[in-house]
């Protein structure tokens, strides 16, 4: 049986921020399945900042070819399968991409564990590789947050940032979130329970961070890069602070001219560490991470607000919303 | 009994590299000792890059006041003492500064352990806080070097760099040293046993580092900053590399405009860490460090070449030689 797939593809590359006309939409027909494949009806796609780096040649994730479907991770339900381990109706997670139907080798898909009232969509949310697990790994495995730490999170109103705020609070830290605009700042305090919210668009960032962290920052979880990274370095605690470099969304539009942190010598002055991480390198700790997050979800301590965009036709729009930081919480597309 | 002290002081601050006329020399008379003090005849002073950062207001070590004696660490012999634990003839280590005689509170001085054929001068060399211990802490406690690692060391022909090369070789690593000029490069290979020497003044640094480390760099010990730091970041091993930030001598002349590492996102891409360190924060490991270094000295595996300048009148000259990188090995002044 053949299926029609509607997909969103890259029409052209652009220096700087992509525009709507850089994307195209088309319908294709999916024919018979090769062996060991599954056809997945895409349910929900995770709108992640890393997608930005696939849209420009030379960026650090593999660039998507012109005409190829925009890469995205998501959850969906198997419609047909030629693989032994997968049957129609199974829920799976994988690189489903910006489309309504994904035809993939079974090895690219992970069957979801839906015990303990976990919903499929949690796997692109609190339990998602690029959302909850990324936050957990950066905050806990990499930055080794401790109760009593003062934690600064940039891009705190985004999906990863929101999870970092929630996890850091659950671990007993004092949390300062930075985000753009008063609405997001209210969200940080009212919805997530951040202790302090700093509006980087309207604040003297250096002065506000210094005022919010008089004893210095013990942990900085950076999603943004640029000025906030230098401000954080200048305000590190006197000793043993940890910076987790998750991303640098402020720099992704011009990766040839990244702003390097000119205050990096504070690392030497204050015996501090700046650690980058690839979430999958910490896979040995995913069981522990998922158990902690799931338990906090059951206790109601982790409720990750969502911003859901309906319809694959609006995928590119949602992507541009993500890059512009126009959402709060977990931005998802339901094809 | 009074003693005449000849001292070198700061006459004026200067933006950029100091000049000879920025320093002055004068004789003073040291009178009676206060209680709990010792008068030390300075034997040998360690010429360290950190001194550079005391000569400019706003740098990260405390700036020395105009007219004050230039700060330096050294070893010397007690001439007179009013302190219970120190007697004439004792060898001590401490902040003796650029002078022939240092009058200091006993608490600022450490009595030297000269057992096992250790010489006083070893405490401003292989066993010195700012030389051997700094190298050991950065390479072993911070960067956790392992046998088989590929180690890149910048400023490798300096005192700390030389010790890093020797220690890394002793620990079974493959060592690439960078230094300025063919003489220093020969020194790295012939005197220290480095596997590869790169002359940053005459090489395409990026191409040479890439060629010397085809599998990537596991450990980078950085004394220099600037270009070599970006080159090292671009050539990190695919996973789990460690950068130890010891200093940034290329940046000390203009600390308001430090070149931040624009390739810092490689840390995230390759799950790598950049760690600064303050050697004294790792004091808990000094016993282990000294034992390892002393054992390697006895085995003849650590012989740190010296460049000795005689006479306190030549202190400023030696300092400018240090800043210009005009020496190889451990630069010392014997007043």
**Cross-chain residue pair A261–B260, CB shorter than 8 Å:** yes
- Let me know whether A197 and A69 are in one domain: no
Q: What is the pLDDT of residues B51-101, one digit of tens each?
A: 988 887 765 567 778 899 999 999 999 999 999 999 999 999 999 999 999
* Neighboring chain A residues of B225 at a CB cutoff of 8 Å: 265
The residue assigned the tokens 């998802």 is A332
Q: How many other CB atoms sit within 10 Å of the CB of residue B193?
A: 15
- Let me know whether B100 and B165 are in one domain: no
pLDDT value at residue B250:
85
**Cross-chain residue pair A248–B265, CB shorter than 8 Å:** yes
For residue B269, being part of any structural domain is answered with: yes
**Cross-chain residue pair B269–A246, CB shorter than 8 Å:** no
For residue B252, being part of any structural domain is answered with: yes
- Let me know whether A119 and A174 are in one domain: no
| Chain B interface test: which of A144, A239, A245, A250 (most B C-beta within 10 Å) | A245
* Neighboring chain A residues of B269 at a CB cutoff of 8 Å: 60, 276, 278
pLDDT value at residue B59:
58
Q: How confident is the model at residue A220 (pLDDT cuts 50, 70, 90)?
A: very high
- Let me know whether A317 and A181 are in one domain: no
Out of B245, B262, B267, name the one closest to residue A276 (CB): B267
Q: What's this model's pTM, rounded to 2 decimal places? A: 0.91
- Let me know whether A162 and A274 are in one domain: yes
Sequence-distant (6+) residues with CB within 8 A of A168 are A139, A145, A149, A151, A153, A175, A219, A221
pLDDT value at residue B61:
62
- Let me know whether A157 and A191 are in one domain: yes
- Let me know whether A57 and A189 are in one domain: no
Task: Judge whether residue A61 has pLDDT over 80.
Answer: no
Q: What is the pLDDT of residues A66-114, one digit of tens each?
A: 899 999 999 999 999 999 999 999 999 999 999 999 999 999 999 999 9
Sequence-distant (6+) residues with CB within 8 A of A177 are A152, A153, A156, A157, A161, A165, A185, A188, A192, A194, A196, A197, A198
- Let me know whether A86 and A25 are in one domain: yes
* Neighboring chain A residues of B274 at a CB cutoff of 8 Å: 264, 267, 273-275
CA distance to partner chain A, nearest, from residue B3 (Å): 37
What CATH number corresponds to the domain at position A73? 3.90.180.10
- Let me know whether B175 and B232 are in one domain: yes
The residue assigned the tokens 């292989």 is B126
* Neighboring chain A residues of B272 at a CB cutoff of 8 Å: 275-276
**Cross-chain residue pair A275–B273, CB shorter than 8 Å:** yes
**Cross-chain residue pair A245–B265, CB shorter than 8 Å:** yes
Q: What residues are paired with B75 via a beta bridge?
A: B44, B93
pLDDT value at residue A16:
80
- Let me know whether A155 and A254 are in one domain: yes
What CATH number corresponds to the domain at position B137? 3.40.50.720
Q: How confident is the model at residue A1 (pLDDT cuts 50, 70, 90)?
A: low
Task: Judge whether residue A58 has pLDDT over 70.
Answer: no
- Let me know whether A245 and A223 are in one domain: yes
- Let me know whether A54 and A179 are in one domain: no
pLDDT value at residue A57:
76
For residue B47, being part of any structural domain is answered with: yes
Query: Phi/psi zone of residue B117: left (φ > 0), alpha (ψ -120 to 50 degrees), beta?
Result: left
Q: Please check whether residue A123 is in contact with residue A112, taking contact to mean a CB–CB distance below 8 angstroms.
A: yes
Q: What is the pLDDT of residues B134-153, one digit of tens each?
A: 999 999 999 999 999 999 99
Out of B230, B247, B272, name the one closest to residue A268 (CB): B247
Q: Is B82 exposed, middle or buried (0-12, 13-18, 19+ CB in 10 A)?
A: middle
For residue A176, being part of any structural domain is answered with: yes
Size of interface A-B (CB pairs under 8 A): 112
Q: Measuring CA to CA, which residue among A88, A5, A96 is closest to residue A43? A: A96
For residue A286, being part of any structural domain is answered with: no
Q: How many other CB atoms sit within 10 Å of the CB of residue B117?
A: 9
Q: What residues are paired with A118 via a beta bridge?
A: none
Structural domain span for residue A324: 3-125+305-334
User: Total domain count for chain A?
Assistant: 2
pLDDT value at residue B64:
78
DSSP string, A203-260: S-HHHHHHHH-TT-BSEEEESS-THHHHHHHHTB-SS--EEEE---TTTGGGGGG---
Q: What residues are paired with A111 via a beta bridge?
A: A92
- Each of the 335 residues of chain B gets a pLDDT tens digit; together they read 678 999 999 999 888 889 999 999 999 999 899 999 999 999 999 999 889 888 877 655 677 788 999 999 999 999 999 999 999 999 999 999 999 999 999 999 999 999 988 999 999 999 999 999 999 999 999 999 999 999 999 999 999 999 999 999 999 999 999 999 999 999 999 999 999 999 999 879 999 999 999 999 999 999 999 999 999 999 999 999 999 999 988 887 778 889 999 999 999 999 999 999 999 999 999 999 999 999 999 999 999 999 999 999 999 999 999 988 899 999 999 99
pLDDT value at residue B334:
98
**Cross-chain residue pair A259–B258, CB shorter than 8 Å:** no
The residue assigned the tokens 């050991």 is B136
CA atoms of A87 and A77, how far apart (whole Å): 9
State whether the Cα torsion B285-B286-B289-B291 is positive or negative. negative
For residue A35, being part of any structural domain is answered with: yes
Task: Give the three-state DSSP class for B245.
Answer: strand
Out of A239, A246, A265, name the one closest to residue B258 (CB): A265
pLDDT value at residue A202:
83
Q: Please check whether residue A92 is in contact with residue A124, taking contact to mean a CB–CB distance below 8 angstroms.
A: no
For residue B286, being part of any structural domain is answered with: no
Q: What residues are paired with A174 via a beta bridge?
A: A150
């Amino acid at each position: 049986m053949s299926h029609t797939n509607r997909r969103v593809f890259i029409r052209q590359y652009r220096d700087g921020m992509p525009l709507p006309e850089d994307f195209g939409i088309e319908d294709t027909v999916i024919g018979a399945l090769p062996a060991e494949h599954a056809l997945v009806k895409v349910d929900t796609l995770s709108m992640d900042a890393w997608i930005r780096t696939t849209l420009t040649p030379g960026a650090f994730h593999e660039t998507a070819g012109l005409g190829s479907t925009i890469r995205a991770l998501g959850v969906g339900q198997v419609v047909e399968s030629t693989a032994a381990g997968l049957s129609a109706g199974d829920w799976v997670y994988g690189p489903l991409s910006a489309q309504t139907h994904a035809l993939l080798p079974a090895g690219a898909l992970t069957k979801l564990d839906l015990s303990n009232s976990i919903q499929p969509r949690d796997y692109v949310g609190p339990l998602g590789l690029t959302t909850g697990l990324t936050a957990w790994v950066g905050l806990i495995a990499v930055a080794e947050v401790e109760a009593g730490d003062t934690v600064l999170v940039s891009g705190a109103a985004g999906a990863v940032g929101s999870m970092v705020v929630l996890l850091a609070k659950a671990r007993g830290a004092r949390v300062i979130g930075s985000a753009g605009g008063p609405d997001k700042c209210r969200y940080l305090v009212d919805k997530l329970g951040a202790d302090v919210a700093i509006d980087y668009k309207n604040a003297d960032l250096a002065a506000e961070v210094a005022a919010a962290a008089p004893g210095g920052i013990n942990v900085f979880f950076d999603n943004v890069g640029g000025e906030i990274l230098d401000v954080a370095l200048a305000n590190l605690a006197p000793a043993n602070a940890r910076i987790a470099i998750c991303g640098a969304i402020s720099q992704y539009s011009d990766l040839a001219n990244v702003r390097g942190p000119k205050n990096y010598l504070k690392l030497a002055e204050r015996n501090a560490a700046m650690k980058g991480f690839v979430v999958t390198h910490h896979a040995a700790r995913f069981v522990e991470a998922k158990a902690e997050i799931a338990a906090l979800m059951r206790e109601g301590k982790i409720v990750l607000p969502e911003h859901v965009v309906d319809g694959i036709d609006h995928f590119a729009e949602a992507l541009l919303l993500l890059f512009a930081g126009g959402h709060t919480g977990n931005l998802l597309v339901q094809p």
